[in-house]
Structure 1
Amino acid sequence: MSTTPSRFPEIVIPDETIYQTLFGSLTEDQRARPAITDSATGQEVSYGELQDMVDATAGALAARGVGKGSVVGLHAPNSLAFAVAFHGIMRAGGTVTTLGSLLIPSDIDKQLQQAGASHLLTMKALGDAGITGAASAGLPAESVIVLDDPEAGQASLIAEGRPAPEVDLDPATDIAVIPFSSGTTGMAKGVKLSHRNLVANMYQIGVTLEVSGVDHDWTMLAVLPFFHIYGMNSLLNASLLHRMHLVTMPTFDLVKFLAAIEKYRVDLTYIAPPIAVALAKHPVVAEYDLSSMKHMVSGAAALDGDLADSVSGRIGSTVAQGYGMTETSPVTHCAVLGETPAASIGHPVSNTEAKVVDVSDDSLPEITAPDSDDPEARSKSGELWIRGPQVMVGYLDNEEATARTITPEGWLRTGDIVDLDRDGNVYVVDRMKELIKYKGYQVAPAELEALLLSHPDIADAGVVGVLRESDGEEVPRAFIVPQVREGSPVKVDAEELMGWVAEQVTPYKKIRYVDIVEAIPKSNTGKILRKDLKAVPLQVTA
C-alpha cells in the first residue's frame, strides 16, 4: 500500500472567499432558516439576519480603518457576537487573530503584537484582560471595541447601517485567520490560513457530515471554543455551510450542556475526550432527555475506543473520531460510520493524501498497512504526513519553522506518531511533538521552562505532561534543579513554586506537580529527554 489517498469522494473546491462560500448563495428559503441561537442570551437569528449583521459590522469596521491587510484581534466566548464579529472582520477584508478566552493581559499583549493587530474586539463577559492587553500592546483606546457594551458595542456598530465595502481578495493567497499554535514543538507561532484553506476544509468536513447522515435540518450544539481552529471551522463555519441551526454555549458546564441538548433537541455535537468521560460516567446524565442526540464527533485528542463505545451505548448516538491540527484548518482524517473502528481516526478526508513515514530511518521510507488477515494487526509506527488544500500557507514571520514543518513537496509533518491496520485505518499512538493538551488547550513546555528558569532559585528545568488520575487530564509536571548557594542546593518549596507560576500564566498552563531533581536528562545536543522524565513515577506530594 502506497501513499494513502482519501476514501471520501473527490470534490470541487470553489475559488471563493469565506464570505462568498457561506453567504453568497443563500436562497430566500435559506435566509428564513434559523442560523444561530445564543444560549446565554436567548437571541436567535436567521441566516438572512446573520448576513445583514455581518455586512453592517463590516461596513462599520471599514469606516474605522479595517481593510485588506489589517489584522484584528477577536477576544470573545462562543456567542452570536463572536460569529458576527468574526465574519464581519473578514467581510471588511481584514484578517482575524483569535485570542483564547482565558488569556491574561500579557498573553494578549504578546499575540496582538506578534500578529500586527491594529484593532481588538473583546467582551466584558471576559473581564478587562482584553482592554488591558491591548493597551500594553500600544493599541489606542478607539481601536478597542467592547462588543457587549450596551452603548458602543456590536449593536451600535450594526445600527450605523453602513454598507459592506467592496474588497478584492485572492482566496488562495489572502490570509483569513491567524490562530496561534505551538505546532510540532516550541513556543506559540501564528498560523497563516488563507480563505482557500478554510473553504476547502469546510467542504471536506461537509462530505464527512453527509456520509455520517447529517441533515440540513439538524441542530448542532457548539461548546468547544470558536477561538480554537476546531471550533472555528469544524463547528461554526461548517455548520453554517451545511445550513444547520447552531446553538452556542460560552463555556462547558455539564449540567448546562445536558440541559441545552434537552431544550433545543440537539441532533449533533462535537466533543473532546474529557466530555466523553463525563457523558459515560457521571450520574447526572441520566436526569436529562438526550434522545434527540444522533451523532457526536470527538477531536482535540485521541479518544479511547472503549470510552467511545460507552458513550454511544449510554446516550444512544453514534460516536466518531476526527483528527486535525491548526496547521491543517483543521481536519485531515475522519471516521466513516459503520466502517471505522472506534479507536481509529479513520481515513483522509476528501482531496487529501496521507502517509506514515519511518522517521527513525534517514531515508524516511513510507510505512504501509500490514498484509495480514488479522483485523488486530498493526503496522510499524511512524510520523503522519499530510498533503492537501487545507494545509496552511505557513507560520507568521517564521520561515525556518515553516521549512521544518512543510517539505518542498508540500507534505506537512504533523509530529504525531500513528500506525495502520490492514484496512488503512489510522490510529494515533503517541506524539513526537512536546505539546501538552489540557482540556483541548495547548500548553508549550518550552514556555513554562523559560518561566521557571527566570526564577532565582532554579538552575534548570524540564516540563512534561502527565495524566492526572482524578480526571484523566494531561497536566503540566515540572522537574526542577535548585540553584546551589554556599555549597548546598537552595530549598525550593513545591507549593510556593506552583503558586508563583500560577500568578504569571493563563490558568490552563498552571503546573500541577513539581519534582525536585539533581539534573535534567539531556541528549548530547542539549535537547531535554522528555521520555526519561515521563518515565519517572509520579509521587503525589505536591
Structure 2
Amino acid sequence: MPPTSLVARTTSPTRIFTSSYPPLPTTPHTTTWDLIQTTARSNPSACALLCGVTQDEMTFGDFDVAVQKVATSLAQRGVSKGRVVLTNMINCVEYPILYHALTALGAVLSPAAPTFSATELGHQLVASNASFLVSHASVEAIAAEVAVAHNIPSDRCFSVGPTTMMQKFRDLLQVDAIHIPHVVIDHASDINTLPYSSGTTGRPKGVKLSFANLAINIQQMAFMEPMTSPLVLALPMYHLYAGLLMNAALLCGQPLVVLPKFDLATFLQALQVHKSEKAFIVPPIATLMATHPLVDEYDLSATKYFVSAAAPLGPTLEAAVQARLGIKTKQAYGMTELSPLVHYTRDGHERPAASGHLVPNTELRVVCPTTGADLGPHQIGELWYRGPQVMLGYLNNDDATRVRKSKR
C-alpha cells in the first residue's frame, strides 16, 4: 500500500478500517488507456460510444483508431508529455476520445465546467498553465474570449461541433498515418488529470491525479460494479464522478450512451431504449424519480438499481423511489482528491443511507478533529484515507497539500 494518506495531521493510529475485499493487483506501469485499449481490441466490433441524441454509434475498434488519430494530430501540433489541455466541453462522444488521446501522449487534461464564465475559465487556464483549449460549439464563445485574452494561438484551440470561432475538432481525425511519439511516463508521479476542487476550504485548487491514481480507481470501480448493460451518462463528464463512470463502462466493454446534459424525458427514454440495469444519478434526480409525473410514461422495468453519489441520499427519499418504481437504490462516496472513489455498495449489500464498503486496497481512519483520537462505529469524525487512488497533492499549493496529506 503506498505510504500516502488523506489526513490533516499525524498521530499514532489505534484503529484502521480496511476493505473487506481482497486487494487488487496493482499495475504500476499501466494507464487508463492501456486498460481500455486492451478491452477495445478484444471486441472491436462491439459498440463503445453512442450519442443519445443522434443515436450515432462508434465501435470499440473505431474508438481505438480515433484515439490514436487524435493523439497523432495533437502531437503534430505540439501537445507532448506534461502539456496541459484545458477543456470546457459539454458531454459528447469526443470527450473520452480526447482524454485517452492525451493519456496516450502523457499529457494532462484539466477539465472545467462548461458553465464557467470567462473569468472563471481564465483563472483555471492560468492556474493550470494550460497551453491548449478544447471546447464545444455550444459554449465556445467563452473559450474563444479566454484564448484571446491569454494569447493562446488559434492553432491550439479546438471546438467540437459546427464551430465558427475555433479550429474544428473533427480535423484532428484527418491524418495520413498514425504515429504516437514514445513517451516515458512515471505512472506514480506524473499528472494525468488536473481537475479543480475547493476541497473543504478556500478557492478551487488544482488536484494532481497521477496516471496510476486513475488506472487503479477504474479497476476498483469495475470490481465493485462489473457493468453488464449500457451505461446512460447524463451527469457532467468534466466532473470526476462521471469521468469514472465513463472509463469504467469502457473498461467493462459496455456501450457508453452519452447525453449532452440531464433532461428528464431524454434520460428516461434512454434508460427505456437501452434497457440499462443501473442508472447513475445524484440526489436531485432521485427526487424527480420519486415525484415527477413524467416518470410514469416510461418503462423502466430493466433498471434494477439507481446508484447515487456526489451528495448524501436520505433514507426517506430512497424509500420513496423504491415504493413508486420498485427500483432499489444504493450509494457511493468519494471526492476529487481520491480519484474519486473510496466507498461503493455492491448489489445485495444496500442499506438505507449507507455509502457502501471500502473499495479494495483502501484503508480508513475516523479521527476526532479536536483531539486526534481514533473513533469507532457510530461516532462522528474526520475521514482519513490511505490507498493508491489518493491524489499526489494540490498544484503549486504546498500549504493546502500539507493540511490534506501526510507521509508515513
Residue 84 of structure 1 corresponds to 97
Q: 1:174 aligns with which of 190, 198, 201?
A: 190
Q: 1:142 aligns with which of 144, 155, 158?
A: 155
Q: What is the correspondence of 1:303-452 to structure 2 with a 5 Å cutoff?
A: 303-361=313-371, 364-369=372-377, 379-409=378-408
Deviation string for 1:214-238 (max 9, x for gaps)?
42xx1111011110111112x1111
Deviation string for 1:63-91 (max 9, x for gaps)?
00001020001221111011111211222
Residue 275 of structure 1 corresponds to 285
Residue 229 of structure 1 corresponds to 240
Deviation string for 1:506-540 (max 9, x for gaps)?
xxxxxxxxxxxxxxxxxxxxxxxxxxxxxxxxxxx
Residue 483 of structure 1 corresponds to none
Residues 1:27 and 1:84: Cα distance change in structure 2 (over 3 Å): closer
Residue 531 of structure 1 corresponds to none
Q: 2:34 aligns with which of 12, 20, 28?
A: 20
Q: 1:110 aligns with which of 123, 131, 141?
A: 123
Q: Is the 8 A contact 2:36 2:250 kept in 1?
A: yes
Q: What's the TM-score, normalizing by structure 2?
A: 0.92
- How many residues in Structure 1 have an aligned counterpart in Structure 2? 391
- Which residue identity does 1:119 align to in structure 2? F
Deviation string for 1:155-206 (max 9, x for gaps)?
2110224422222212111110000000121110000000100011101111
Alpha-carbon shift at residue 350 of structure 1 (Å): 0.5
Q: 1:132 aligns with which of 125, 139, 145?
A: 145
SS across alignment from 1:24: helix
- Which residue identity does 2:171 align to in structure 1? S
Cα distance in 2 for residues equivalent to 1:90 and 1:136: 28
Residues 1:318 and 1:9: Cα distance change in structure 2 (over 3 Å): farther
Q: 2:55 aligns with which of 35, 42, 61?
A: 42
Residues 1:49 and 1:102: Cα distance change in structure 2 (over 3 Å): same
1:258 aligns with 2:268: yes
Alpha-carbon shift at residue 127 of structure 1 (Å): 4.1
Alpha-carbon shift at residue 48 of structure 1 (Å): 0.9
Residues 1:161 and 1:179: Cα distance change in structure 2 (over 3 Å): farther
Residues 1:248 and 1:56: Cα distance change in structure 2 (over 3 Å): same
Residues 1:287 and 1:340: Cα distance change in structure 2 (over 3 Å): closer
The alignment-based identity, stated in percent, is 33
Cα distance in 2 for residues equivalent to 1:349 and 1:252: 28
Residue 31 of structure 1 corresponds to 44
Cα distance in 1 for residues equivalent to 2:304 and 2:379: 35
Q: 1:155 aligns with which of 133, 148, 170?
A: 170
Cα distance in 2 for residues equivalent to 1:262 and 1:324: 29
RMSD: 1.6
Cα distance in 1 for residues equivalent to 2:163 and 2:197: 33
Cα distance in 2 for residues equivalent to 1:340 and 1:358: 27
Query: Any stretches of 5+ residues in structure 2 without a counterpart?
Result: 1-13
Q: Give the structure, 1 or 2, with the largest relative contact order (CA under 8 Å, sep 6 or more).
A: 2
Q: What's the TM-score, normalizing by structure 1?
A: 0.70
1:68 aligns with 2:67: no
Highest Rg: 1 or 2? Answer: 1
Q: Is the 8 A contact 2:366 2:382 kept in 1?
A: yes
Cα distance in 2 for residues equivalent to 1:317 and 1:262: 14
Alpha-carbon shift at residue 150 of structure 1 (Å): 6.6
Cα distance in 2 for residues equivalent to 1:336 and 1:306: 21
Cα distance in 2 for residues equivalent to 1:40 and 1:245: 15
Deviation string for 1:129-174 (max 9, x for gaps)?
1111222222122211112247942221102244222222121111
Residue 8 of structure 1 corresponds to 21
Residue 206 of structure 1 corresponds to 222
Query: Any stretches of 5+ residues in structure 1 without a counterpart?
Result: 370-378, 410-542
